[in-house]
Structure formats: structure tokens, C-alpha cells
A and B are shown apart, each in its own frame.
Chain A
Amino acid sequence: GAGVSQSPSNKVTEKGKDVELRCDPISGHTALYWYRQSLGQGLEFLIYFQGNSAPDKSGLPSDRFSAERTGGSVSTLTIQRTQQEDSAVYLCASSPQGYRYNEQFFGPGTRLTVL
């Protein structure tokens, strides 16, 4: 399919372990976004990429969270030393241009459970 894909779809990990979440955006989309949705909450912005650079990292909740994007395509969100409060659905989205007000195309999300 030509949509945004994310892997894994589900991840269960133990507190203190590191996890990597992957996002494959729609081909040609220069902008990529990471959000998370905790139970009963709205979408919380984490980070935004324009190409390989991240002009806005303001949403990353702590220095345990990092993200990179290589080749202007695939992005990886890494959470180090996971905590139970990191449990959430992590959503990735992409859009054709770098302007935030454009429609974003979302992937199905990765459900992270930290035991």
C-alpha cells in the first residue's frame, strides 16, 4: 500500500528497557511527525521533521526520547529506559510539504505497553 506504515504494531516491554519504533512515510512526503496518545487523552505532539532535520523537538517529554530520520524517509523514535508512563499509542504522520497546516496522513500507530 501507499500509506504510512509503522512497526511494530504492538510492543510490550519491561520497565527500564529501550525500545525503537519505526515509521515509513508516504514516498515523497518531506514532512514527518510523531505523536502519542495516552489512554483517554488527545494526540500529543512529540517531534516534527522537515527532510532529515528536526526544526521542532519541543514535544519530546524527556531526554529519554529521541528520534532520527535518514534519507528524508524512514524515521525511528527511540525511548530509552522505558517507564510505565510511556505506555501509549505512538502515531506517525507525514505530509507533502513542511507547513503544519497541511493535511497529515497518519499511520496505524504502535501500541507500547511498559510493564
Chain B
Amino acid sequence: DQQVKQNSPSLSVQEGRISILNCDYTNSMFDYFLWYKKYPAEGPTFLISISSIKDKNEDGRFTVFLNKSAKHLSLHIVPSQPGDSAVYFCAASGSWETSYDKVIFGPGTSLSVIP
């Protein structure tokens, strides 16, 4: 049973437009969330994170939104660039406070940004 779900295996977006990648989780013990980006033949690299005490975190073109009541988070990329084409993994973890220290990754969403 997947605890972290990314229901869109792939997404295509025109360059300059907004990309929205979605992630849903089921375990209420998760209270820290991360997004990783992966290019082919490389390991994932950390992109952005958010704690459950926040509902938004922004870093340049990347913004993560968290809706804790819906157990849903999303990553917004604005404007999208061809170099953003990659697989994006959502990950969820417990914090020291919850003592739930597993990190669970979602299956990933492959983003293609079309020039």
C-alpha cells in the first residue's frame, strides 16, 4: 500500500508556463516533505522541502504548497524551462518530534517542458 502517491506518471508543459506536480500521502505521522529531481543516469538531487508547520515554501521558481488536512502537497514551477525536464519525486518523513523517522518516496512524475 503506497503511503506516498504521485498519481500522474507524466506531465507535459509548454516552456514559460506553470508546471504543477501533485503528491498525496496517507500517513498522518508524516510532517516533513521533500521534493527531489532526477535526471537520467544520475541520482536524485534535493530541490525543496516543507515542514508541516508551514503551508508554503518558496525558492526562486519553485514553490511547494502543503494542505495538511487534505494530506496533499504540490510543487509549482514558474516559469517552466526545458532544463526542468526530469523525474520529480515527492518524499515524506517524520520529524524528531514525531519519532517517526522513515523517509518514504513516491513513484515519481516525469515532467517534460516543451520549448
Contact = CB atoms under 8 A, between A and B. Distances in A.
Interface stretch (A14-22, A37-45, A73-81): A37-45
B43 A42 contact: no
B46 A42 contact: no
Given A4-B43, A99-B96, A45 B103 contact: yes
Contacts, number: 60
7 contacts: A45-B105, A100-B93, A100-B94, A101-B34, A101-B103, A104-B103, A108-B42
A101 B102 CA distance: 8
A106 B45 contact: yes
Interface residues of B, number: 26
B34 A42 contact: no
Given A42-B89, A93-B43, A103 B34 contact: yes
Contact of A35 (B93, B105, B106): B105
Interface in A71-115: 91, 93, 99-101, 103-109
B43 A101 contact: no
A20 B93 CA distance: 29
Ranked nearest first, the 8 interchain pairs of A and B with the lowest CB-CB distance are: A106-B43, A42-B107, A43-B105, A101-B32, A101-B93, A100-B101, A103-B46, A100-B103
Interface string A22-49: 0000000000010100000111110000
B95 interface: yes
B49 A103 contact: yes
